[in-house]
Amino acid sequence: MNDSCRAARKPLPTLWSCILGASFVLLLVMFPESARGQETAAFFKQNCYSCHTINGGRLVGPDLHNVTKRKDREWLVRFMLNPQAMIDRGDPYAKQILDESRGVVMAQIAGLTRERAFLLLDLIEAESALEKSQFEGVKFSDRPFTAQDVFQGEQIFKGLTPLANGGPACMSCHTVRGLGLLGGGRLGADLTKVSERVGGRKPLSAWLVSPATTTMQPVFKLHPIEPEEILSLVAFFEDSAKRVGDDDSVAPLTFFLIGLAGMVLVLGLFDSLWKNRFRAVRRPLVSGGEMRTDA
Amino acid sequence: MNVRSQISMVFHLDKCIGCHTCSVACKNVWTDRKGTDYMWWNNVETKPGTGFPTRWEDQEKYKGGWEKKHDYIQLRCTDKKRIVPNIFHNPHMPSMDDYYEPWTYDYQHLFTAPEGPDQPTAMPISKVTGEHIDIEAGPNWDDDLGGSPIYAENDPNLDGLSDEQRQQMFAIERLVMFYFPRICNHCLNPACVASCPSGALYKRGEDGIVLVDQKKCRAWRSCVSACPYKKTYFNWFTGKSEKCILCFPRIETGQAPACFHSCVGRIRYLGVLLYDADRIEEVANLPDEELIEGHRSLVLDPRQPDVIAAAQRNGIHDSVIESAQDSPVYKFVKDWRIALPPHIEYRTMPMLYYVPPMSPVMSVRTEKTLDNISDNLFHDIEQARVPMKFLASLFGGGHEAKVVYALKKQMAVRWYRRALTVGDVTQDVADQMLREADCTLEEAEAIYRLTSLCTFEERFVIPPAHREEAIEMMEDPHENRESVGFGFLSGPRRGL
């Protein structure tokens, strides 16, 4: 009885999976090759373009022009999937790249699979063959920064001037030294010397076009920063790096003294707050403090 | 009228012999557990003396009870503004030294000491540190005027006395003392209950006994500083506050509390009073000199039909009303007006009353005989060794009239009995004294009987507890009867 019931119900899921499978195959067949290429280009733009160009010179990372000729594909894919592991393993070429990038390790890319890595290499190869690649690098004005730029950048960093496309203010996660008493957020990196760290105006600007870290990417994917805003921010970062100079730590003694003074202050406050507190009765009585002497 | 019932007490100080049997009975029943070493739910103090904890009556230091500020009473130890900064650091907490460091003796040493030329001794050991200590204070350190120049002379009740009065009081042939046994007063306006941030203290609806819920107590210890009589104690082992529970398990089964039961001098009386709960707030806010009369006016006559009707409306059982009609406390407090509340100026409305003690009879030496009758028969009261001001500070809220009234009546009864039995004064003189003391013949006889010849049943008129009524409010009494007594008992523990 039971068996027949189960048997009667069985064909239904099988039918569904057949329909689903058929439509999937149909989709794959109908999906044009160019569409997949476009998707890869979008991925490149979102994840790689902030540090790399193709035939546009190096930014934070090296120019990827003809990278497939410099190293074999297998090595490149392994590096793309886990750059830190390659460096840790002591691969000489990986080390060389690291030195050239002044110690900035390539970020782990979210959503990068082995298959996608090969597609990316295809894309780079195809773009390298072109006269003029679409990934030659974003063109920014290289006019000298004015005080107005720096001021505007600081306003954007602090969130006093909101980002045009609705992205969150930098200060909610980052700090820059000399930004008032409490500074900014401590969740992200300290950006005081970021322009020196990434190698100047051009790479920093490129980086801000589509920030590629796992934390920033999802936040800014839908709210890209406008080119004028990037210009102001970079002006602000360059200025702050210059302003702070080499003094990059508060002396531990100062901290200690501030702590000590704070403690004394708090104890003094407690003492005055509870100045009428109970103090011993019996012992002063016996030791003569309140004893009557006329007896 | 919002009539409630309260189990109230009278301690007749003229009968107390200071034997501490009450204290020991209480200690053996309740406070010989770990962490309760220093607690004396019942203690007996010598007056003049500083008591336990030392100078507990000095509210400038201990900040107990209520004070009248801006026409309205508020707790001395805290107020709404201070409760937040004070909740994690209560600034008015007595220290261990003001009680005493509990100790035991190293008895084992008597058996294990190596043989030597001297007898081994049992050294005192601190129950806190486990180390040998020099005992500096105890619960009874100034008993019988021990260490008078320090302790007795620093009794806060002496503050109003002139230097001459003080000197006379401690002159070697005039030395005087009396005993002051104390338990929780189970007040009508308890400061401990008002101060508790956890709501752990409560006044039992059916009989007014003030209790600490050991499950709710969160060790804030506000009650310790709020109680002006210093009768709540903190148990450092369980992390809960504890206080006198008026032996409610005994009361509920018709027995007198342990300290009452064991009292050698038979000074203790216990019975129900009916009072008007609606007027507590009004009375607690009266000016100092009206407090005693106001406090007394809270107690209602259990024979008045409207009081009985109001009591019945409030669910007070007929048997409790009957018990209130026989209450010895009612007689002392309302009929005879010779029992007075201790330190009414703390405004907690204590429900333990004291009959103030008579001083030793003053005699005058004429030639070879001792003459103890003077022309002014109440002479002894005004010239008593204990200055009236001292007694007024304790029992009169600083005002002498009520104390003098109570003492005059006692003295008149004494002379009345003396005229009857010894006959060295005439009945006329006795009658005159009774008149002056506002005492009828029947009243004198009744005072004499309840003071001197009282039986167990006359001293302790314990109302039926009617636990079933209390249980009924929480659960089905039948179910309770069937299931009670089966399960696990767990003692109080530190933490939540």
CATH number at residue B24: 3.30.70.20
Distance from CA of A269 to the nearest CA of B (A): 12
Flag whether pLDDT at A1 surpasses 50. Answer: no
Interchain pair A280, B170: CB under 8 A: no
With CA atoms as reference, the chain B residue closest to A269 would be: B85
Place of tokens 């074999």: A72
Looking at the fold, whether A235 and A161 belong to one and the same domain comes out as yes
A282 vs B167: CB contact, 8 Å cut-off? no
* Beta-carbon separation of A291 and B154 below 8 A: yes
Let me know whether A190 and A228 are in one domain: yes
Interface of A with B in 109-148 (CB under 8 A): none
Residue of A nearest to B85 (CA): A273
Give chain B's mean pLDDT. Answer: 92
CATH assignment at residue A180 = 1.10.760.10
Tell me the percentage of chain B whose pLDDT exceeds 90. Answer: 77
**List of chain B residues whose C-beta atoms are within 8 Å of the C-beta of residue A283:** 97
**Nearest residue to A158 via CA among A139, A142, A180, A137:** A180
Enumerate the residues of chain A whose CB falls inside 8 A of the CB of residue B89.
274
| CB-CB under 8 Å, B150 with A286 | yes
Would A86 be classed as within a structural domain?
Answer: yes
Host domain of residue B33: 1-68+141-476
Q: Considering CB atoms only, which of A281, A292, A295 is closest to B61? A: A281
Mean of all residue pLDDT scores within chain A: 81
Spatial CA neighbour of B209 closest among B257, B264, B166, B141:
B257
β-sheet bridge partners, residue B272: B7
Task: Give pLDDT tens digits for B51-82.
Answer: 999 999 999 999 999 999 888 999 999 888 88
Which residue shows structure tokens 């203690």? B43
Give the helix/strand (H/E) hosting B210.
strand B210-212
Q: How far apart are CA A59 and CA A114, in angstroms?
A: 25
Predicted model pTM: 0.71
Number of domains observed in the structure of chain B: 1
Average pLDDT over residues B24-32: 96
* B243-302: pLDDT as tens digits: 999 999 999 999 999 999 999 999 999 999 999 999 999 999 999 999 999 999 999 999
Q: Of A95, A129, A163, which residue constitutes the final position of a domain?
A: A129
Q: What is the CA radius of gyration of chain A?
A: 31
Judged against a pLDDT cut of 90, whether residue B409 lies above it is answered with yes
Q: How close does chain B come to A249, measured CA to CA in Å? A: 37
| Predicted pLDDT at A51 | 84
Range of A119's domain? 30-129
Reported confidence tier of residue A222, pLDDT bands at 50, 70, 90? confident
Look at A278 and B61 and tell me if their CB atoms are within 8 Å: yes
Mutate to test the interface with B, among A278, A287, A290, A294 (most CBs of B within 10 A): A278
Does the residue A165 lie in any domain? yes
Of A280, A283, A290, the CB nearest to B154: A290
Chain A environment of B85 (Cβ under 8 Å): 273-274
Residue B368 has pLDDT above 80, yes or no: no
What whole-number distance in Å separates Cα of residue B115 and Cα of residue B328? 61
Residue whose C-alpha is closest to residue A278's, from B59, B229, B158: B59
Distance from CA of B17 to the nearest CA of A (A): 26
Helix (H, G, I), strand (E, B) or coil at B65: coil
* Neighbour-count burial of B113, counting CB atoms closer than 10 A to its CB (0-12 exposed, 13-18 middle, 19+ buried): middle
Task: Note the pLDDT tens digit of each residue in B318-351.
Answer: 999 999 999 999 999 999 999 999 999 999 999 9
Q: At residue B7, does pLDDT exceed 70?
A: yes
Residue B86, both tokens? 């004070």
Residue A40 shares a structural domain with residue A95: yes
β-bridge partners, B4? B275
pLDDT at B46: 95
pLDDT value for B485: 86
Residues of chain A contacting B148 with CB distance shorter than 8 Å: 295
Indicate whether A100 and A164 sit together in one domain.
no
Q: Of the candidates B101, B119, B100, which has an alpha carbon nearest to the alpha carbon of residue B109?
A: B119
Helices (H), chain A: 2-9, 11-30, 33-47, 67-70, 73-81, 83-88, 92-100, 114-129, 147-158, 194-198, 201-209, 216-220, 227-244, 252-273, 282-286
ipTM entry = 0.83
**Residues of chain A contacting B167 with CB distance shorter than 8 Å:** 294-295
- HEC string for B285-339: CCCHHHHHHHHHHHEECCCCHHHHHHHHHCCCCHHHHHHHHCCHHHHHHHHCCCC
Q: Do B50 and A283 touch (CB under 8 A)?
A: no
For testing contact with chain A, the best of B50, B52, B54, B161 (most A CBs within 10 A): B54
CB A211 within 8 A of CB A168: no
pLDDT in tens, A167-220: 999 999 998 887 776 778 888 888 888 888 887 888 888 888 878 788 888 888
Residue B417 covered by a domain: yes
- Would residue B306 count as lying in a domain? yes
User: What are the pLDDT digits (tens) for B369-397?
Assistant: 766 655 566 666 777 788 899 999 999 99
pLDDT of A95 > 90? The answer is no
Which residues of chain B make contact with A284, given a CB cutoff of 8 A?
none
- Domains in chain A: how many in total? 2
Count of residues making up chain B: 496
Question: Quick check: B167 and A285 CB within 8 A?
Answer: no
What Å distances lie between residue B104 and A23, A198, B101, B142, B388, CA to CA? 90, 75, 10, 20, 40
Residues A66 and A116 in one domain: yes
**How confident is residue A242, by pLDDT bands cut at 50, 70 and 90?**
confident
